[in-house]
Amino acid sequence: MPPSSPPDGGTDVAPRRRRIVPLLCIAAVVLAADLATKLAAVAELEHREPVRLFGGALYLVHARNTGAAFSLGEGYTIVLSLFAVGVAVYILRAARRLRSLGWTVGLGLVLGGAVGNLIDRVFRAPGFLRGGVVDFLSLFDDGGRVWPIFNVADACLVTGVCLLVLLVFRGIQPDGTQAGAAAERKADDDQQR
């Protein structure tokens, strides 16, 4: 039986091939971009007025966030840090079963973003697992009043989660199969017998 295209639109001739290497590559690119932009933000923006770009659609501004997305849960930094560790461990364990390109990209974005922000929580002040995450992108105003100030890791986390939600709604499983497709094949096999 010739190999078929995976349901997520990939052209992989071996749909059962594992995708851990691409997942790790995506996570590494996200992590490198996040760390580089945070280092630049601290070096260039920490003691400076916000930089206005694109007619005020984007501002570069230095901020620290000890909470989760949108500065929620600022009193729970240690819990958030441990949650990020759990997410990273779960993704690495789940990666052994990945065969869907879409899930690989989504989980790679989430992994890279989670680790990027976790590094800030571990190594930045005020201390281990309590550090403030460096944020520096503000949309439509210079103080995060229209949209909360964020960073590359946050953007990748949100994009990855949105992609994963879309895949779930489309019924695409991490192993590349369509939800319900396995049950339908079994029922067809049973009918042919």
Q: Is 190 a catalytic residue?
A: no
Q: Is 188 a catalytic residue?
A: no
Coil vs helix vs strand at 139: strand
* Catalytic residue of the set 154, 175, 188, 190: 154
The type of residue at 191 is Q
- Cα distance between residue 180 and residue 72, in whole Å: 37
130-136-139 Cα angle (round to 5): 125
**Cis amide bond preceding 126, omega within 30:** yes
The type of residue at 80 is L
* Catalytic residue of the set 8, 34, 120, 135: 135
Output the CA torsion 22→27→29→35 (10° steps): -170
Q: Which residues are catalytic?
A: 135, 154
